[in-house]
A and B are shown apart, each in its own frame.
Chain A
Amino acid sequence: METHELIKALAADSRRTGVPMNTVWWGAVLIAIAIATTVFFALLGPRPDIASAAQTVRFLFKFLVTIALGASAFALLRMLSRPEADARGVLPCLAIAPALILAGVAIELIVSPAETWPARLVGTNSLVCLTFIPLIGIGPLALLLLALRHGAASHPTLAGAIAGLLAGGIAATLYASHCPDDSPLFVATWYTIAVAGLALLGTLGGRYVARW
């Protein structure tokens, strides 16, 4: 088939265009949040003392970190789903959440006595954290990878990893309202491991699902 013949066929198929990426991303992220919320309430639910916990800085700080992670990953993922995205220019915004948590850790180390550090780091709930953040995030990750497949990412592996971070951000935000361990030392350790697990899954998934 000659190129001008191919163009005739493509032009004849001009009516059916794919759903615009903006719509796809907002739809995917809203449904992902809905899935994660459903799983969270079915399996865990918020901690009983959430009203009084919400008065404490440490509890609220967890949400600052997880929402910052989710929001920056979302912005990055939308950009990376376009073929012409320049990954180097946008990666710095990924540093926001790690910078926040590192600042939180530094402040925690200053304001709390050294002998309480191990207990704060180990917490009481690390296994629950490592189990449920991936469990809440896996459905959203699958959905986000499908949305990524609809796009045209020039770096599917990287984009898959970012999808994992977004799924992790959503799952960690919900999980944070359940977990009684509020120290930034705990968050920096266990949340990071759990979210990294989802990012790794996203990396592997993106490689296969988002090829085009």
Chain B
Amino acid sequence: MNGADDGDLARLFRTALGGDEKAYGDFLHEAAALVRAWARRRIVFAGLDPEDIVQETLLAIHVKRHTWSNDRPVKPWLYAIARHKLVDAMRRHGRHARIELSEVENELATEETETARDWEIGRALETLTPGQRSVVTAISVEGRTIAETARSLDMKETAVRVALHRGLAAIARRFGRD
């Protein structure tokens, strides 16, 4: 569905906003693909990873999805969020680059041997409370449902939902900031 036009995407988003978790996941996957292609064309210097922009944009889409009016096209809204996050990241990166130029050089030298990806979101995840972090990790990395997470962490489902909601909001707030 890579070539989906705006109408299809908007319909999917409307269904998702109606509370359809499956449709929301599909919408976010399509949004990620669009933003990834968009960001790759725009990021021309080393040190800024397009996937960080994709993840930060997805988080912003999530916490700001009530700012989309459902009678409007969705792509201009989506790209505006991506642009806002990219500009923000470039500004941050520029600031850091000036301070740590030698470190960046070291990083570039060792890049070929890198094993696991160290994305910005990992650092934001570190700042969560232990409870929020275990809930977010269980659902994302371990792929558990809300119910499974509640059982494995011995929590009520509502408590899991609240921890997830707050945890994601906190990640969105702290993404890329130190």
Contacts and interface: CB of A to CB of B under 8 A. Distances in A.
Interface of A: 1, 3-22, 81-85, 150-152, 154, 212
A21 B125 contact: no
Nearest to A155: B84
B66 A212 contact: no
A203 to B, nearest CB: 19
Contact of A9 (B20, B67, B76, B139): B139
A152 B172 CA distance: 13
A21 B71 CA distance: 13
B21 A11 contact: yes
B81 A83 contact: yes
A17 B72 CA distance: 18
A5 B119 CA distance: 13
B121 interface: yes
Contact of A12 (B19, B51, B77, B139): B139
A6 B84 contact: no
Contacts of B81: 83, 152
Please classify the interface of chain A as helix (H, G, I), strand (E, B), loop, or mixed, using the class held by over half of its residues: loop
B42 interface: no
Given A6-B55, A6-B121, A21 B164 contact: no
Q: How large is the interface on B (under 10, 10 to 19, 20 to 34, 35 or more residues)?
A: 35 or more
A13 B62 contact: yes
A153 B63 CA distance: 13
B59 A10 contact: yes
A7 B25 contact: yes
Nearest to B135: A9
Nearest to A18: B66
B163 to A, nearest CB: 10
14 contacts: A1-B141, A3-B51, A3-B55, A5-B143, A9-B140, A9-B164, A11-B21, A11-B24, A11-B25, A18-B63, A18-B66, A82-B67, A83-B84, A84-B76
A3 B32 contact: yes
B58 interface: yes
B17 interface: yes
Nearest to A23: B66
A212 B84 CA distance: 9
B30 to A, nearest CB: 10
B168 A9 contact: yes
A22 B122 CA distance: 35
**Residue with the greatest number of chain A CB neighbours at <10 A, chosen from B19, B21, B29:** B21
